[in-house]
Amino acid sequence: MRLLSLIGAGCLLCGAQAAAQAPRSTLLFAAAAPLPGDTTAAVRFNIPAQPLTDALRAFSRQAAVRVQLDIPAAAGVQSHPVLGAYTAPEALRQLLAGTGLAAQFADGETALVTRGQGGVRGAYTLTPLTVVAPRSVGYATRRTTTATRTDTPLRDAPQSVSVVTSELIADQSMQSMADVVRYVPGITMGQGEGHRDAPTIRGNSTTADFFVDGVRDDVQYVRDLYNTERVEALKGPNAMVFGRGGGGGVINRVTREAQWTPTWALTAETGSFQHRRATLDAGQGLGANLAVRFNGVFEDSHGFRDEFGLRRYGLNPTVALAFGPRTTVRGGYEYFSDERTVDRGLPSYQGRPSNAEISTFFGNPDLSYATATVSAASATLDHAFSGRLSLRNRTRWASYDKFYQNSYPRSLNADGTQVTLGAYNNATDRENLFNQTDLVWSTATGRVGHTLLAGAEFGRQQTENFRQTGYYNDAAATLAVPFDQPTVSTPITFRQSASDADNASTATVAAVYVQNQIELSRHLQAIVGLRFDRFTVDFHNRRNDQRLDRRDDLVSPRAGLVVKPVQPVSLYGSYSVSYLPSAGDQFASLSATTETLEPEQFTNYEVGAKWDVRPNLALTTAVYRLDRTNTTAPDPNDATRTVQTGEQRTTGWEVSAAGSVTDAWDMTAGFSQQRAEITSATSAAPEGARVPLVPRRTVSLWNRWQVLPSIGLGLGVLHQTRMYAAIDNTVTLPGFTRADGAVFVRITPLLSAQVNVENLLDERYYATSHGNNNILPGAPRSVRFSLTTRR
């Protein structure tokens, strides 16, 4: 028996009788079913007569519910048209009219389609098929696996999760992680020395807390979104789900997979500063048991900064194989190459960004560049033993070859007439291999429902680092040049200084974890989990042939409580922990001293509320305190010794909204207020210092209006208050407000055009930095134009 699952989310009427009558083999839920939803709200449907599977997919998307078809898909069966405003049950009954099928609402988010009393009428062939519709509807997403490792409604996840959907990515022409986090409260993106993603999440900076489909992707490079279905940001530490690191949270890219639904989209884009980019997304089913998909990108662009260039391309084929109705195997391979000018930005002067022209390059651009090559293969096995018990095993191998070299500004002199330049290069080669296994069992003890998760993760990461210092004219490690003429062509020789790294490391992890999502009643849920990691690092310093090793046994609990006074509303509280071992997030900081240190600990306390205002509109809010402890600090009684008494605290609250306000108005909005400071002196800062790149307040708002059937308009605003550039709190980046806009035109049913304008009012602002003297100005008014053809 084949299961057709069209995944969305929403609230529909369910009845105990319908739940009880669901076929035993389907087992849609445990004994404690969710509270019935409301059927009085009408939704405007536009579903013409078409093949049944396509019609059910359209219904799932427009009604924002999951539809499960517990019979083989009917090839050649036409649906009845559904045009106009109906409640979801009415629309589904009308869609199935004359097909011999009937619908039962099994819970607040799932409709079960079965044979009617008289069986399926008509002469047609039954063909097994699996189709998965998008989990998101417009800008709203109703379900997640990032927060719990199980398929869970977002409102039932007792932690803050922000999701940037593929629709929002497309509407804003997002192409990088920096674009994404602008609309995620509580996260800012650092300058990353011009060659890597470097977010600060709830006051904790990182370059390693990135994941792809739930698997670690921790090398320092700039990620593209060409093959991304959505980006999910889990805020606050949660090692139970992701393991070590993730002190402020993690960012998980969910990639596009092969599906049996035909897909074809070719986009060509051009714009200001010689921007040129093309992407392709093509896929379909090849029979009942095989589906393929290909995503690709090519870009050759310049930028508003002098001498900047970017050339990147990516190839990502995927395949899906169905072995009977219960087993699916998916595989994929990605080759991604990124070559860019390393641009470290502008220096500061007298506590603020200097008054240099925002396009000015400081240093030698001919010798400032970065290359990143990523080669990755993945395989996933999904098997359903029954409707209650399922297994997933995922393996990912990835090879990263990263090199960057830069000539950059270090500081201005006292009268602001000369700037000192430095230079160095660094090479990193890393090979990752991870395997994860999750076993999920839905069961019940009396009237209490359980979703039990048991899993294991094994990983091995081999890394080599090699760094060299640059010497101008083969003589000095610094060069003073006039501030008004900072772009130079001075020769630079690169060789190792006494302190430059030349090392190799092998990191391994073996982890087991268990979790129980408990439905105590229709108004009360709880989640408890525990993870044990054995994390080891073997480190070889090739400079002095020193060999070091460190083993940490990490125990990471999580707990949460969800109260649901009514079905669309959740009130929650949660507690979670994570650790960062002393080798650091890039395994480069192990020494004879740090080898003896215990991991840093991150502890998150959070309360919040989530409200699904309508099926496609969700509001969330959270208040939190995140403590970072066990940080290194100098011993006040002996400056030669290191103690672990340093502490940092981040407190804040955030509000976000995403979805459809009306049939013609989609929006996403976010607000955050944070304070991150050192509460006990560390090796980097005294007590009371404010953490850099954490603005006190940020606001984001993006709207899309469909003013006519073929014309849409977009308008957005970003605002953030001032923030410090570095932990010494001597340089302040001013606050700013930026407006963006867009126009969307459907030329024909298969051809559309889009214009995006960034910084509509041509505001001069400074977006971020890497320390006090690598400050990145924001782009002036920029225009992008794209054409997309679909089949």
Please name the residue that has the structure tokens 């698997």: 215
Q: How many whole angstroms separate alpha carbon 184 and alpha carbon 169?
A: 13
| CB burial readout 500-528, b (16+ within 10 A) else e | bbbbbbbbbbebebebebbbeebeebbbe
Distance (Å, whole) CA 346 – CA 770:
10
Structure confidence at residue 690 (pLDDT): 97
Q: Give residue 118's pLDDT.
A: 42
DSSP code per residue over 509-574: EEEEEEEEEEEEETTEEEEEEEEEEEEEEEEEETTTTEEEEEEEEEEEEEEEEEE-SSTTEEEEEE
Residue 31: predicted pLDDT: 24
Neighbouring-strand partners of residue 531:
513, 556
Query: What 8-state DSSP symbol labels residue 18?
Result: H
pLDDT at 14: 33
Please say whether the beta carbons of 111 and 155 come within 8 A.
no
Confidence at residue 128, expressed as pLDDT on a 0 to 100 scale: 31
Q: What letter does residue 599 receive in the DSSP assignment?
A: P
Pairing status of strand 751-758 against strand 782-790: antiparallel
CB 337 within 8 A of CB 316: no
Structure tokens at 206: 């990182």
State the pLDDT at residue 109: 61
Distances (CA, A) of 100 to 82, 95, 128, 254, 504: 17, 11, 18, 37, 66
Give dist(CA 187, CA 670) in Å, integer: 11
**CB neighbour list of residue 263: distance below 8 Å, 6 or more residues apart:** 281, 282, 283, 284, 293
Kindly give, in sequence order, each residue whose CB lies less than 8 Å from that of residue 2, ignoring residues fewer than 6 positions away.
69, 71, 72, 73, 128, 129, 130, 325
Report the distance separating Cα 320 and Cα 323, nearest Å: 10
Q: Are 271 and 790 in contact (CB under 8 A)?
A: no
Please count the helices (runs of H) and the strands (runs of E) in the chain.
Answer: 6, 48
Give the type of residue at 148: T
Closest CA to 153 of 451, 448, 432: 451
- The answer to whether the CB of 455 falls within 8 A of the CB of 437 is yes
Going from the first residue of the chain to its last (791 residues), give the mean pLDDT of each consecutive group of 10, the final group possibly shorter: 34 31 30 31 70 77 67 63 78 81 65 59 31 56 89 93 95 96 95 95 95 96 97 95 94 94 93 97 90 97 96 98 89 98 97 96 97 98 90 98 97 96 97 98 94 97 97 97 96 96 96 97 96 96 93 96 95 96 82 86 97 92 97 84 92 96 94 97 94 97 95 97 97 98 95 97 96 96 97 84
Strands of 418-491, DSSP E? 418-445, 448-472, 479-482
**CA dist., res. 133 & res. 540, Å (int):** 49
Q: Alpha carbon 622 to chain centroid distance?
A: 19
